[in-house]
Structure formats: structure tokens, C-alpha cells
A and B are shown apart, each in its own frame.
Chain A
Amino acid sequence: MHPNETAIHDYVDAALDVRERSEIERHLEACAACRQLIDDLREIRRVAASLEPRDPPVRAWTRLERAIKLENAPHAASGSGAPRQRVTAPLIWLAAAAAIILATIVGLRLTPKAPQPAAPQTAVNAPATPTAAPPDDPAHSVETELRQAEDHYEKAIKGLEQIAAAEQGVFDPRTAATLQKNLAVIDQAIGESRAALRSEPSSEPAQQSLMENFKAKMGLLQDTVALINEMRKGNDAGAARVVSGLKQRGD
């Protein structure tokens, strides 16, 4: 008889006493299936323990820095004594993008049934976050939420597209082509998600897919803005990291 599942995993975790361990080992001598199972589980454990930290996208710091600046702004104006920061070469056009991104991404993470609950967020994103209707309001439907989310994504995307278009000249032809190619792929996916939703408006996978595609487009445009930022700062290494990320998106 095979050992039970708990004993197998405890064996893999070296959590058995000597007697239990020997019992399993006796069984393993005669059972190829259990040997295979244990080899697989050990391999999964080994690889899991070797997983490494992951560098976040370059734009993540840009987003965070802008969020901090926006968060500090009202305190600074009111002289409330809240933490103040050294302002380093603000780029106004990026602040506008950050405000849009914050309002959209931080304040509005799509859930299929209800608005995102209360992450203790800033006053910064409050004005642009859609006003949630009471849960018992019949108009508060998935479709309404989807429309609101779509609306916000489209506004944010439009803002970012304007910034990217205004700065397009800074890109070399190859990078510009990569950006265009990636955008075209995402736009096509958005079109397909919309078509799927038109034929089946209540399909949750289709709703999720549309939002994921909007997020992907936001991500690409945010990378574009981060790239512009790095190039303007003369940070070749930072720009190279963003370009590498853009190419991976396209692979």
C-alpha cells in the first residue's frame, strides 16, 4: 500500500522521525510511482526555494515618486508639518500623467462584481475615482461598473497617448517601430475583447479580458513615458532597461 499524501510530503520536507522515514524508504525501493512522485516534489521544492527577487519595471519608481509628490503637495501648501521632500527637477507633463495613472490604477482595480474596497488611499485619487452607487441600487450593475472602468481607462490612455505622441520625436526608428507594433497588438486584443462582450455582455472572462487588455495598454504607455523620462534625464542605462522591457512585451 502506498504511504498517504501527508507522509509523502513530510518525507520530502524531512519532517518524519527515523522510524517513519525508514518505512517510506522501504516502500520506495519497490514503488517506482512513489519514487517519481517524490523526485517531482523535491524538484518543485528546490526550484521554489531558488526563486529570486524580480526587478520591478523602471516606471514603478517614476509612478511612486510622482505619487509621493502629489501626496505631499496639499500638506506643503497648508504648512501642516507633514514630511517634506526635496523637489528634484519636476517634469510637469509627467505629473499630469501620474495623476491620471494614480486615479485609474491605484484607485480602481477592477473587480467583476463590486468596486475595489477601501485600500487606505490618498486624497489624490479620490476626486477621479468613480462614485460608487450603494450596493442595493439596481443601477449598480456589473455593466455600469464596467462602463465606468472603461471610461477611466480610456481617459487615462488618451492622456498618456497625447504625451507619447508629443514626444515621439525622441525615439529612434527601431524603438518607435517596437512601440507601434506592441500597441497594435494590444489594440487588436482590445477590439477582440469588445467584440466578445458585444456578443455576450455578461461574460465575466470577456469583461476580465477587456480590463486586462486596458491594463496592458496602460502599462505599455507608462513604459513609454518612463522611457521618455529616462532619455530626458540622460540616463542611458535606465532607458536601455525600459527598451529591453518593451521588446520583451512584444516577444
Chain B
Amino acid sequence: MGGADAELAARCQTGETEAFETLYRQHAARIYALACRMGGSAEDGEDLLQEIFLQAYRKIGSFKGESALGTWLYRLALNHCLDYVRSRQAKMNKLTETLDATSSFEPLARHDTPIARIDLERALERLPDGCREAFVLHDVEGLDHKEVGAVLGIAEGTSKSQVFKARARLRALLRGR
């Protein structure tokens, strides 16, 4: 852990709001992006962001400096997002299927035109939770399948098949094929 990190952590641990705001400003964009993508919408992302930073505020006292502050925060965020998605998955299966069957999505980038990031972000929202999590962790966040498996509590092979499923679904949404 760097000196600046240690100093910021120490200030946060005394409850200094300005220090916590600095921590927020440094990391909110990355955490918010992760939360939006894992949660599947900007609305969920905003709620998750708030919950994650509140948790961080409560738990900052337990931060021992064994990793970078950003890494600690990222792990906390990831775990919180996963808890949320899992609890939602258990309850929303039926609804997801209903919406899936009835809603439409007009592919915006067809054939050989480059895919715009905004279109991919929109398409990500349409993926089922399980394969979206694996895709975000592997293709967006850059974890390998072994790491994705460990984070999600699934086998490495399951991580692969979920990522493949997500890509195939995204291809259908974005390319119309």
C-alpha cells in the first residue's frame, strides 16, 4: 500500500468526511460502472453504489492495509453486487423470463460496422443475470475463467459456458444474427 493510500485510509478511519469524499471521488466511477453492469441497469447501479460506499464507511476500520485501498474497495463492491444479483435471481426468475419473451431490441450495429460502447452497454442489460456476471467479470473486468469461477462459486467450465452464452446472445442482439 502506498503512502498516499495509507494516509487516506487513516483519515477515513477517523471518520473524516472530506477524506471519505476523496476516496469516493477516486473510485466511484469504477465502482459505479461495475455496479451498473453487474446489476443490469443504471438504477440498480446507483442504489448499489450507495450501499457499497456505506458499507465501506462502516468497514473502513477493519482495513489493515494488506492490499491497496482500491483493491479492498473493489472486492467489497464485487461481493456486494454478487449478493444482490443472487438474491434477485432467486426471486425474479419468472419475471425475467416474462420480460425476455415479450420485449424487443432493435440491433443498432449490424454487419461490419464497429459496435458502439453504448450499444454494448444497452445490450448487456438484456442478458440474464448468470451469464451477464460471468461476461462482465471475464470480458470487461479481465478476470480469467479460474478467477471468475472462484468469485462466482462455479466451476471453471461453467464460467466458460456462461461467457460463451453471453457472447452469443450479445451477437444476436447487436448483429441480428
Contact = CB atoms under 8 A, between A and B. Distances in A.
Interface of A: 5-6, 9, 36-37, 39-41, 43-45, 47-57, 60-61, 63-65, 67-69, 71-72, 82-88, 105-106, 109, 111-114, 117, 119-122, 204-205, 208, 212, 215-216, 219
Interface in B154-172: 160, 163-164, 167-168, 170-171
10 contacts: A45-B167, A48-B140, A51-B33, A54-B36, A56-B32, A61-B21, A61-B28, A85-B16, A86-B17, A216-B43
B80 to A, nearest CB: 8
Given A5-B164, A6-B164, A61-B28, A45 B139 contact: yes
A249 B163 CA distance: 32
Contacts of B53: 64
Interface in B42-73: 43, 45-47, 49-51, 53-55, 57-58, 60-61
B89 to A, nearest CB: 11
B7 interface: no
A111 B91 contact: yes
B94 A204 contact: yes
Contacts of B28: 55-56, 60-61
Nearest to A68: B57
A54 B51 CA distance: 17
Given A48-B120, A83-B61, 13 more contacts: A43-B114, A43-B115, A44-B171, A48-B135, A51-B140, A55-B32, A60-B50, A61-B21, A85-B17, A106-B51, A111-B91, A112-B92, A204-B98
A59 to B, nearest CB: 8
Contact of B102 (A40, A112, A120, A205): A205
A219 to B, nearest CB: 7
Given A44-B174, A56-B28, A51 B120 contact: yes
Contacts of A117: 87
> A interface, by DSSP: helix, strand, loop or mixed?
helix
Nearest to B102: A205
Contacts of A68: 17, 20, 54, 57
B33 A114 contact: no
A109 B47 contact: yes
B50 A106 contact: yes
B75 interface: no
A104 to B, nearest CB: 11
A58 B41 CA distance: 17
A63 B46 CA distance: 10
Contact of A86 (B16, B51, B102, B121): B16
B30 A56 contact: no
A111 B94 contact: no
Contacts of A43: 114-115
A112 B170 contact: no
B102 to A, nearest CB: 7
Contact of B17 (A88, A119, A212): A88
Given A60-B49, A64-B24, A212-B43, A53 B175 contact: no
Given A51-B120, A71-B57, A9 B163 contact: yes
Q: Which 7 A-B pairs have the closest CB atoms?
A: A83-B15, A53-B29, A48-B139, A56-B32, A85-B17, A54-B33, A53-B30
